[in-house]
Amino acid sequence: MAARLGNVSRLMPLHPQVEAMRAQRASHGAEPLYTLSVAQARIADLASIRAGSGQPEAVAAIKERQIEGPDGPLTIRVYEPSIHEPGADQPDAYQSGADESSGALGRPALLYFFGGGWTLGSLDTSDAICRRLTNAVGCVTVSVGYRLAPEHRFPAAVEDCYATTSWVSRHAELLGIDPRRIAVGGDSAGGNLAAAVTILGKERDELTLCHQLLVYPNTDYQADTESMASNADPLLFNRTSVEWYWQHYLADPADGSDRLASPLRAADMSGLPAATVITAEYDPLRDEGEQYAQRLLDAGVPVELRRYDGMVHGFFAMAGSLDAGRQAQEFAARRLRAAFDDSDRVVGVAVRAAGVGNFSGSAASGSSTSGGDAR
């Protein structure tokens, strides 16, 4: 019998740091992004992320290049891990169009897909996250400039992310990476795209991926969940936000039933890469993210799920202003390091919610797990 992920029966209050952030938005008269034009929302979203992400860490090098995508060139940004201590104040070696790797061979790689509801976002949106994960994991990180809706609706973003992942795998030697140690990840819509890439890779039998990092992912169009119904605060990401993004992403509401738009609706999840799933307590996407973790577990996929109490959607990108954002990034880095370390692979599941003692899980064998971090 497959293990069951634990349930949390009570909500903790909003974290004081989130309360302060919410109060500041109220005092400034912040408008929900869904009340703005797409162009205005894109500018406001990036400004908000930059304000909350903290001082960007220096990395050894950043290289931008264009690769051939399904419908024209795609821009990718390649981050090389720093040999210095994370956070050290040294300049990046920034190159555009560079073809040469650093010369290090066999390094692990993370394909990271930025969030923004498939409508907002850019390579700059996830820049701080990619820098921190690159250094903390010691991996090459490739950020993908996929096409955005409503100019390019579903499945354009999925096609771009899959094509880039495939390109990285085929050009592992050029990038100085180990093709057996490639993971995908993303936050929000980026988590949705990461899940879709793993599903498509399995169906086409073309990719070998060792892990998927899913940070509060969208997994089900028109999800009918308690967290979707209860999160309506206009000063925070809410159910109207979710609806607004889906309206821009889908050309036809019927497309929402496609497993590449709604990974939770995939018929068979067996054989997908091991997963780390991160959710936030006050997030309309909380329940569908945790349901996806359960579906993976039911299919025999090793999963670690962590819910962060008192947190809201977007906290993972706010490491400069929310302690839990920094802690979640550190947790994600530990999970990725474990996934990239062949000797640390285990069968089963460990489940934990930060700060919630009654959130527990069992390994596939039925034995209890500690729920501690994978290291």
Q: Which residues are catalytic?
A: 188, 283, 313
Token pair belonging to 2? 């497959």
Residue 246 backbone phi and psi in degrees, to 5: -60, -40
Could you tell me how far CA 308 lies from the centroid of its own chain? Answer: 15
Q: If you search the block for the tokens 């950043």, which residue do you land on?
A: 62
Sheet with 72-80, side-by-side order of all strands: 93-96, 61-69, 72-80, 140-145, 107-113, 177-187, 211-215, 275-282, 303-312
Residue 149 backbone phi and psi in degrees, to 5: -85, 160
Residue 148 backbone phi and psi in degrees, to 5: -105, 150
- Identify the burial level of 211 via C-beta atoms within 10 angstroms of its C-beta, where 0-12 means exposed, 13-18 middle and 19 or more buried: buried
Token pair belonging to 150? 């409503």
Comparing CA positions, the residue from 262, 255, 275 lying closest to residue 223 is 262
Could you tell me how far CA 368 lies from the centroid of its own chain? Answer: 28
Q: What is the DSSP letter of 204?
A: H
